[in-house]
Amino acid sequence: MRYFIDVIIPIPLKKLFTYSITASESQFLSEGMRVAVPFGKSKIYTGIVFKIHNDAPTAYEAKDIHQILDETPIVNQKQLQLWQWISSYYMCTLGDVMRAALPSAFILESETVITKNKKTIDESVLKDDEFLIYEALHHQSSLKIHDISNILDKKNVLPIIKRLIEKEAITVEEEVYEKYKPKLVRYVKLHANFSTESALQKLLDDLSRAPKQRDVVMTLFSVSAKTKKPVKVSDLSQESHASAAIIKTLIDKGVLEEYYIQTDRVQYSGDDNEATKNLNTYQKSALSEIKKSFENHAVTLLHGVTSSGKTEVYVKLIEEALSKGKQALYLLPEIALTTQLVTRLQNYFGEQVAVFHSKYSSQERVEVWNNVLRNSAKAQIVLGARSSVFLPFDNLGLIVVDEEHEQSFKQFDPAPRYHARDTAVVLGHMHGAKVLLGSATPSLESYFNAKQNKYGFVELMQRYNDVLMPDIELVDIKDKLKKKRMKGHFSDRLLEEMTETLKAGHQIILFQNRRGFSPIIECKTCGHSPQCPNCDVSLTYHQYRNQLRCHYCGYHAAMLQDCMACGSQDLDNKGFGTEQIEEEVKQLFPDNKVARMDLDTTRGKYGYEKIITALEQQEIDILVGTQMLTKGLDFRNVKLVGIMNADNMLNFPDFRAHERSFQLMLQVAGRAGRTDERGKVLIQTYNPHHNILQQVSTNNYVEMFNEQMNDRYNFKYPPVFKQIKITLKHKDYNRVEAASVWFAKSLRQVFTEHVLGPESPPIARIRNQFHKNILVKIPKQQSLAKTKEAIIKINNSFFSIKDFRSVRVILDVDNF
Ligand code: ADP
Ligand code: ZN
Ligand code: ZN
């Protein structure tokens, strides 16, 4: 009998590849283990064993695997099941899912390594460059591509390598290596030679002429006597005030002995096991309603206003899941923004909390992965963003999706274009776990599902401590401009409130939407504004670096001195971003501390933390920021929130723009007055009668929902219809135009009036690629599976047309 395995490889292949294994390998292997497999002419990939069987592939001769990389599976059956669901629901390959699911350190990489050929050759045939490399290989047994680049001081060395191979001077071998290395911490102890009292006495006598070294030895004694634990080199150095050099001398002399212990990179150091809070009556009844709802609805939506204390309710549910010996997953839109929450959970649950951080290194992700896989005590609660749905849970009892309305739960690019909330619902189902979706401003999708009784529904409408909802005032900027009551972008009302708030010693948050309203340079003489050479967008002015930048492709150039078109020096700033607001505030309130929170100021792992801590410590009086400000921050002393301009959000060309504006504004508003005093929110707008603004100012979610749902019915948008967006991209406009017309026509033959487009998106060219969008709308009664089948069929015929083969097609199910 012959043995075969189907293997998932981390590249987008439509089908799994089958490899041949031996009988003994088949005994050892199981599904979910990694194997190194050859692919194509010379590539090696890490694959995941998907299935073990005895059926030889009919279309090709199965190759042997190179080696087995694991002793036990690193991916479990439930995960493989989830991967399959994602691949079929979101119309992508299992390889795409594997790439997204596994920490990259798990995916071995093949790197080209060069060695000298054993055969001796006539060196006179080598050119200078070639000889240098050949010579280097006399001293080193192997070289990597980048070593060769360094030696030759040039980037493109592949032609030289190719010639050396042709001249039989070198050979190429592929080296497979594992990137993950556990972090090792260095410890020291006294060498065993000095374990007797007399030897020790002699040592100390000998060291009397080297007092610093003697100090180190004495400190080592006292520290280890005190802590009764191994002593880290770093601690010893700190305690004894000795430099690393002194400790090294002692190690070299054989007085001290160094050793390493593997530690987790992702460690919690703090006080744990603070008692969880007692719920107030509203929270208590919400909790019991949720539990009751879970009896009939595995998925339940909690609509709780900002600062109602939803987190404490989640905490009780987590406690309960843990007490039943189950794991809990707490999903957040963006983990980096929620250090406050991390600390809160760690105070309650200590080491049981594992954080799966988007800014963690691959190594750190591997540690969390392994802890979850082993169901270790250190990972009973996982707190993480979108990708944590991919962790190897085996025993989930509860999933909380906090801020479930957040769009960042949907992966936009690359595939798999999955929605983590919806994936969590499927994941929960696989584990028989309960899923709680929570938000102060639920997505229309979830609220609709709750109304349809597909999800359970619970409300929590009282703020904790009965703090009143903030008082929201709309300020008409058109009127203010007419009456000359604007200073820059600030109305007199906003300035009055700011002055008063600062006088009372409170803090202020100013919100400026990042999207679509960054400062653009415009020539006052001819109207020209500098454009990105690769994309159809205006460049954005960044004062801090004095640069013009493209937000789509990263292109940047120094700020212009004069207009590129007419040479005039009269250049103007159109629109305004956070940076400009910050500048204006500094001038208006020179005695106050102003800070800014946006993508530019929060780079690096602790970028957010620094600003958040500074605000908490009241080192900042006024914080200017983008939507980052809306996410789950809890500041006791913020009393005023100013929304600089509501209109650019409302006018954004997207069918969700109104829903999203409502959510954003209520969420930022929720940052004001979270403790005792009522907060104040000022919204500046050209259009104070806009329905959404009226609904925001009266906190009327239900009215917003009903009105928006009306539009969604009328225009056949989600959640009433499902939809799949098909994007075609090519650098040649005519080709993408022809291709998209063909694609849309074929779709129309099947789906008739439910196909929209092709249309050029508002930004028609990005990174030199022209885009065309087609939308397929799917009525609820139409089979989703059949719809997808038909689209895949059309897609396949599309690629059989020679002219279209170079066009990229992107399928996005439930697009955002
Ligand atoms: P939400 O997530 O609904 O916006 P939070 O859970 O952040 O609200 O709660 C708002 C504030 O109220 C927090 O500072 C929290 O510590 C406090 N809080 C909530 N519930 C309780 C409770 N039962 N006892 C004490 N403080 C609470
Ligand atoms: Zn000009
Ligand atoms: Zn660009």
Cα–ligand 3 centroid distance for 533 (angstroms): 6
Within a domain: residue 775? yes
Cα–ligand 3 centroid distance for 538 (angstroms): 9
Ligand 1 closest atom vs CA 460: 3
CA angle 201, 203, 207 (to 5 degrees): 120
Q: Please, which residues have CB less than 5 A from ligand 2, an ion?
A: 523, 525-526, 528, 563, 565-566, 568
CB 364 within 8 A of CB 377: no
Instruction: Say if residue 408 is in the same domain as residue 297.
Output: yes
Cα–ligand 1 centroid distance for 360 (angstroms): 28
Instruction: Say if residue 566 is in the same domain as residue 582.
Output: no
CA angle 151, 155, 160 (to 5 degrees): 70
Give the number of whichever ligand sits closest to the CA of residue 287: 1
Cα–ligand 3 centroid distance for 542 (angstroms): 15
Q: Round to whole Å and give the CA distance between 498 and 447.
A: 36
Ligand 1 closest atom vs CA 283: 23
Instruction: Say if residue 102 is in the same domain as residue 115.
Output: no
Give the number of whichever ligand sits closest to the CA of residue 441: 1
Cα–ligand 2 centroid distance for 532 (angstroms): 16
Give the number of whichever ligand sits closest to the CA of residue 522: 2
Give the number of whichever ligand sits closest to the CA of residue 345: 1
Average pLDDT of the segment spanning 108-112: 57
- Ligand 1, CB within 6 Å, residue ranges: 277-280, 283, 304, 306-312, 464, 634
Give me 688's structure tokens.
């104070």
What are the pLDDT digits (tens) for 150-199? 788 876 676 777 778 778 888 766 444 444 445 567 788 888 888 788 88
Instruction: Say if residue 374 is in the same domain as residue 455.
Output: yes
Within a domain: residue 588? yes
Cα–ligand 3 centroid distance for 767 (angstroms): 6
Within a domain: residue 598? yes
380: exposed, middle or buried (C-beta count within 10 Å: 0-12, 13-18, 19+)?
buried
CA angle 419, 421, 425 (to 5 degrees): 115
CB 660 within 8 A of CB 407: yes
Mean pLDDT of the chain: 87
Cα–ligand 1 centroid distance for 474 (angstroms): 28
Instruction: Say if residue 337 is in the same domain as residue 454.
Output: yes
Residue of the nearest CA to atom 17 in ligand 1? 309
Within a domain: residue 260? no
Q: Please, which residues have CB less than 5 A from ligand 3, an ion?
A: 532, 534-535, 550, 552-553, 555
Residue of the nearest CA to atom 1 in ligand 1? 307
Residue closest to 705 by CA, chosen among 665, 664, 658, 670: 658
Number of H helices, E strands in the chain: 26, 37
Cα dihedral sign for 384, 390, 396, 400?
positive
What are the pLDDT digits (tens) for 652-693? 778 898 999 999 999 988 888 777 778 999 999 999 999 999
> What backbone phi and psi angles, to 5 degrees, belong to 679?
-85, 165
Instruction: Say if residue 444 is in the same domain as residue 526.
Output: no
* Domain boundary pick from 710, 734, 750: 710
Which mutation among 285, 303, 312, 402 tests ligand 1's pocket best, with the greatest number of atoms within 8 A of CB? 312
The residue with greater pLDDT, 535 or 772, is 772
What are the pLDDT digits (tens) for 392-421? 999 999 999 999 999 989 998 899 999 999
Cα–ligand 3 centroid distance for 551 (angstroms): 7
Average pLDDT of the segment spanning 586-605: 82
Cα–ligand 2 centroid distance for 523 (angstroms): 5
Within a domain: residue 395? yes
Instruction: Say if residue 132 is in the same domain as residue 213.
Output: no
Which mutation among 464, 469, 616, 674 tests ligand 1's pocket best, with the greatest number of atoms within 8 A of CB? 464
Give the number of whichever ligand sits closest to the CA of residue 521: 2
**What are the CA-CA distances from residue 102 to residues 92, 266, 369, 522, 562 (Å)?**
16, 17, 9, 46, 50
Instruction: Say if residue 808 is in the same domain as residue 750.
Output: yes
Instruction: Say if residue 774 is in the same domain as residue 661.
Output: no
Instruction: Say if residue 93 is in the same domain as residue 12.
Output: yes
What are the pLDDT digits (tens) for 727-767? 999 999 999 999 999 999 999 999 999 999 899 887 889 88
Instruction: Say if residue 398 is in the same domain as residue 427.
Output: yes
CB 511 within 8 A of CB 671: no
Confidence of residue 336 (pLDDT cuts 50, 70, 90): low
- Model pLDDT, residue 184: 64
Residue of the nearest CA to atom 26 in ligand 1? 277
Residue 44 makes CB contacts below 8 A (sequence gap 6+) with: 36, 37, 38, 66, 108, 110, 174, 176
Residue of the nearest CA to atom 10 in ligand 1? 307
Strands (DSSP E) found in 250-380: 256-263, 299-304, 327-331, 353-356
Ligand 1 closest atom vs CA 310: 3
Q: Confirm or deny that 92 is annotated as ligand binding.
A: no
* Domain boundary pick from 554, 575, 596: 575
- Model pLDDT, residue 671: 84
669 by DSSP, 3-state: which?
A: helix
Residue 228 makes CB contacts below 8 A (sequence gap 6+) with: none
Residue of the nearest CA to atom 20 in ligand 1? 309
What are the pLDDT digits (tens) for 37-57? 888 876 778 899 999 999 999
How, if at all, do strands 540-542 and 381-384 pair? Answer: unpaired
Instruction: Say if residue 535 is in the same domain as residue 407.
Output: no
Q: Round to whole Å and give the CA distance between 757 and 14.
A: 27
* Domain boundary pick from 106, 135, 155: 106
Range of the domain at 19: 3-106
The type of residue at 631 is K
User: CATH number, domain at 380?
Assistant: 3.40.50.300
The residue with greater pLDDT, 808 or 637, is 808
Within a domain: residue 420? yes
Residue of the nearest CA to atom 14 in ligand 1? 634
Cα dihedral sign for 303, 307, 313, 319?
positive
Give me 686's structure tokens.
């050209």
Residue closest to 2 by CA, chosen among 62, 61, 55: 55
Within a domain: residue 261? no
Average pLDDT of the segment spanning 559-588: 84
- 3-state SS of the chain: helix, strand, coil percent to 5? 40, 25, 35
CB 522 within 8 A of CB 543: no
Overall number of domains in the chain:
7
Ligand 1 closest atom vs CA 636: 14
User: CATH number, domain at 743?
Assistant: 3.30.70.600
Within a domain: residue 234? yes
How, if at all, do strands 769-778 and 722-730 pair? Answer: antiparallel
